[in-house]
Amino acid sequence: MSAKNGAIKLVAGNSNPALAEAIGAFLGQPLTRAIVRRFADMEVFVEIQENVRGSDVFVIQSTSYPANDHLMELLIVTDALRRASARRITAVIPYFGYARQDRKAGGRTPISAKLVANLITHAGADRVMTLDLHAAQIQGFFDIPTDNLYASPVMVRDIKERFDLTNLMVVSPDVGGVVRARGLAKRINAPLAIIDKRRERAGESEVMNVIGDVEGYTCILIDDIVDSGGTLVNAADALLANGAKEVYAYITHGVLSGGATARIASSKLKELVITDSIQPTEAVRVAHNIRVLSIASLIGEAIGRTASEESVSSLFD
């Protein structure tokens, strides 16, 4: 990393300490000493225990479960740094929660992603760095520079190491994710299939129609978030019913709430590959068919480039 990086400071909240440590190790930069704890009534208290005056500070914090606690930590750490005269504060949010609330889905509903963007900006962040936003236009919700990084280079490297590319089919589990899946398919020169979900009548289960001939192919489902796991499991069943040989899934953010891990473990999915943008739970770590890829070097490289005023987008050319 460049000489300018001497002025970098890395501060971590409690959402993903393992990833923050790994990013620090990549940059050769120990985490700044800070206390982020709770009072008895669960109010968040923060104390930065090193001088950050004039420093280029990167706050590493996913707004994953419990989302509101981790968001509050991010806001209060940012406020503490601003009041400590940090020169520039970058909110590094590997998983940006509330991203699925990016538009009014019905009457009298909020656009929570915009509200969260306002909160982060008003807390004092000068720029934002995040990974695989659920909807790319959320970048426009911020009035400060926003870098949306992509996990696809990490996934492509892993796929190339593990699969025979001549017999691979990339699949989007829904129509909305086609652009993401197409981008990855292009990188590995693989054909693309799409799953069209539709509910014929209220209360009936969804029908999965596979668009594309998947017979004999090893299929890789690509998406940004796996939450309940229901869509993935049903998609895998539909692909196998249509003659697919095996089904894998590469998903950036393993939200995996409720009984999702058990649902994946008992499914016909050969393997679910997620990144450590959200700290994996013990259940995820011991699941036989879930594997975690590290994105520490990707985020670390982006932080180093930001600090030395180099291009971040060229990482993905």
- Per residue in 220-268, pLDDT (tens digit) is 999 999 999 999 999 999 999 999 999 999 999 999 999 999 999 999 9
User: What percentage of the chain has pLDDT greater than the value 70?
Assistant: 96
Q: How far is CA 214 from the centre of its chain?
A: 28
pLDDT of residue 5: 43
Rounded CA separation 54/230 (Å): 48
DSSP state of 87: S
Q: Is 59 within 8 Å of 81 (Cβ atoms)?
A: yes
Where does the pLDDT of residue 203 fall: very low under 50, low under 70, confident under 90, or very high at 90 and above? Answer: low
E strand or H helix at 37 = strand 34-38
The tokens of 14 are what?
């409690």
C-alpha–C-alpha distance, residues 184 and 165, integer Å: 12
> From start to end of 40-83, where are the E strands?
44-48, 56-60
Residue 4: predicted pLDDT: 45
Instruction: Report the chain's mean pLDDT, rounded to a whole number.
Output: 95
Catalytic site includes residue 104: no
95: which residues sit within 8 A by CB, 6+ positions away? Answer: 62, 63, 64, 130, 131, 253, 255, 277, 278
What are 105-131's pLDDT values in tens digits?
899 999 999 999 999 999 999 999 999
**What is the pTM (predicted TM-score) of this model?**
0.94
- Which position among 114, 197, 245, 268 bears the catalytic label? 197
Comparing 28 with 204, the larger pLDDT belongs to 28
135-182 pLDDT, tens digit per residue, is 999 999 999 999 999 999 999 999 999 999 999 999 999 998 999 999
What lies within 8 Å, CB to CB, of 192 at 6+ separation is 169, 170, 171, 172, 178, 181, 182, 185, 212
* pLDDT reading at 193 higher than 60: yes
Q: Give residue 204's pLDDT.
A: 65
pLDDT tens digit string along 68-82?
999 999 999 999 999
